[in-house]
Amino acid sequence: MAALLRKVWESVSRSSKTTSESSDRSVVVQSSTGAFSHIPSDVFMHILHFLEPREVAKLSLVCKYWKFLVSDNQLWLYLLQKEQNQPGSWDSLVFAEIHLQMGYPLQTFYDQMPQLPFMHIFGQRAKAPGAIIIDGGSGYCKYGWSKYDTNTGMSATFLEFGNIETPIYSRLRHFFATIYSRMHVKPSAQPIVLSVPICHYDDNVSAKASRRQLKETIHSVLFDMNVPAVCAINQATLALYAAKQTSGIVVNIGFHCTSVVPILHGKVMRKVGVEVVGMGGLKLTGFLRERMQQQNMNFESLYTVRSLKENLCYVAADYEAELSKDTRASFQVASEGWFTLSKERFQTGEILFKPRMAGATMMGLHQAVAHCMDHCQSAAITANESWFKTVVLAGGSACLPGLAERLEKELHGLLSPSVANGIRVLPPPYGEKSAWFGAKIISNLSTFPGSWCMRKKQFRPNVRRSLMVTIFN
């Protein structure tokens, strides 16, 4: 096999040399490949699987027949798949190139999309500039490069930079300057994909103005820092893309609260209504801390409690039945030793469904999602009545084992059979980093930055300096 590959490559080299000598502008395609013209196509395709993509592309210069074989979509699908070194990344690539390639707004009729050959897609992805990704987060921010498998660092969110009296322009400028400084990169080097925290949930005039003002301020700050292109998308939409969906309901369990966000073809359906529950990850951690204190457990910080929540807690499929079981388990926290939890393990997650256990008067998570689904069905905004029946969980606390199964079970019990039929609840596809990976999917598209990004010459805010005001007071 090695000898055969060498002969093939020698043939290509001779062909390329002859071509370059004959003309500087055009490629002269040989009409014959000599001894190789009789290689069966299936054997030839098998050989191509062992070559690197650049070598495969060069083979297309040999003759028209080889150009035809080398351009085969299945071959380049294989080569693309071979380059994906992370679980699920291949499926994400195919999803992205089919559904997100044309940019925002998303195409809704896929038969109208131009079907680019995967050889072209491979080449475009190789030439894509990549991007700096900043996932704003609600508890802390994650940042890094789109070409890497995961984020490279974390910091406080921009809401925690400065104080409440600090103008939002100044706060954002300090935030982005800090991130770029930590990454040792110039703002002008690459486009940026920014995950914007979900805020100003309502569909009224005031909320719309606040969202618009925040987004314009973000663009204003970044363009003042000479960032070449900006793509700012809310966290819920990015988490949905990470789950390889373009429509559905995203349940984002944030740091302070939980938002239930209906999304159709990548657009948040605020007219349908975004449900907000005042129960977030901090409340779960606080509840576990109180239970541990009641058991006279000594610990130094909330970090210890959060570590126990993330490693020992889960959501019971049947709360009452779980109470009669022996659920003791232990975990060692660095520098603090071993901790053993019992009923606290599943009682912590239970407050999502029974907030009264934590002394809170509000809807349970399942009730908020069911309420949102009822609104989606009543709105009748599309002929496809199943668009809202895929629920995607997002956020760190959404990673609790058993949460997706329990929520799905509760929804079937709350909703009418016609609405409940076909509901599926998906756990966070990439854990607490789902929004990060949604941004990574977009920034590695073969057409990025394309229509996903805004460039400085396109940015025309109404009154630029009027944005330098505090909008979170």
**pLDDT for the residue 37:** 61
Compute CA 315 distance to the chain's CA centroid, rounded to the nearest angstrom: 24
Q: What angle do CA 81, 83, 87 make, to 5 degrees?
A: 70
Q: Enumerate the β-bridge partners of residue 318.
A: none
Instruction: Describe the chain by its helix, strand, coil percentages, rounded to 5.
Output: 50, 15, 40
Whether a cis peptide bond, with omega within 30° of 0, leads into 461 is: no
| CA-based nearest residue to 194, from 213, 214, 209 | 214
| CA-based nearest residue to 102, from 452, 454, 458, 455 | 452
Each residue's pLDDT tens digit, 135-157: 987 778 999 999 888 899 998 88
pLDDT in tens, the chain (473 residues): 445 555 555 554 454 455 444 444 333 334 445 556 666 667 767 777 777 777 777 777 666 666 777 777 777 767 766 766 555 577 788 888 888 888 877 766 554 444 557 777 777 777 777 899 999 877 789 999 998 888 999 988 876 665 555 678 888 999 999 999 999 999 999 999 999 887 767 777 888 888 888 889 999 999 999 999 999 999 999 999 999 999 999 999 998 899 999 999 999 998 898 999 999 999 999 999 999 999 999 998 899 999 999 999 999 999 999 999 999 999 999 889 999 999 999 999 999 999 999 999 999 999 999 999 999 999 888 888 899 999 999 999 999 999 999 999 999 999 999 899 999 999 999 989 999 999 999 998 888 888 899 998 888 765 444 433 333 33
User: Are residues 133 and 146 in contact, defined by beta-carbon separation less than 8 angstroms?
Assistant: yes
| CA-based nearest residue to 429, from 254, 241, 256, 278 | 241
Report the alpha-carbon distance of residue 419 to residue 389 in Å, rounded. Answer: 8
Report the alpha-carbon distance of residue 394 to residue 428 in Å, rounded. Answer: 5
**pLDDT for the residue 385:** 84
Treating both helix axes as pointing N-terminal to C-terminal, what angle do 235-242 and 434-443 enclose, rounded to 10 degrees? 80
HSE-CB at 113 with a 13 A cutoff on CA atoms is 17
Each residue's pLDDT tens digit, 84-131: 655 557 778 888 888 888 887 776 655 444 455 777 777 777 777 789
**pLDDT for the residue 63:** 66
Structure tokens at 318: 């049947």
Task: Output phi, psi for 191, to 5 deg.
Answer: -65, 165
**pLDDT for the residue 463:** 40
**pLDDT for the residue 30:** 41
Which amino acid is present at 440?
K
DSSP string, 58-98: HHTTT-HHHHHHHT-HHHHHHHHHHH--STTHHHHHHHIII
Strands 267-268 and 248-253: unpaired
Strands 229-234 and 267-268: unpaired
User: Are residues 400 and 345 in contact, defined by beta-carbon separation less than 8 angstroms?
Assistant: no
pTM listed for this prediction: 0.82
DSSP 322: H
Task: Output phi, psi for 339, to 5 deg.
Answer: -130, 140
Computed on alpha carbons and rounded to an integer, the radius of gyration of the chain in Å comes to: 26
The alpha carbon dihedral of 237, 240, 246, 251 has a sign of negative
Assign residue 23 a region (left: φ > 0; alpha: ψ between -120 and 50; beta: otherwise). Answer: beta
| CA-based nearest residue to 94, from 61, 116, 72, 66 | 116
DSSP 268: E
Compute CA 127 distance to the chain's CA centroid, rounded to the nearest angstrom: 22
Report the alpha-carbon distance of residue 439 to residue 242 in Å, rounded. Answer: 8
Structure tokens at 12: 């290509």
Q: Enumerate the β-bridge partners of residue 426.
A: 392
| CA-based nearest residue to 465, from 169, 210, 163, 207 | 169
Structure tokens at 110: 């896929």
DSSP 421: T
Q: Enumerate the β-bridge partners of residue 339.
A: 331
Q: What does the H/E/C string look like for 187-243?
A: HHHCCEEEEECCCCCCCCHHHHHHHHHHHHHHHHHHHHCCCCEEEEEEHHHHHHHHC
Structure tokens at 152: 């490279």
Report the alpha-carbon distance of residue 234 to residue 472 in Å, rounded. Answer: 17
The alpha carbon dihedral of 434, 319, 412, 380 has a sign of negative
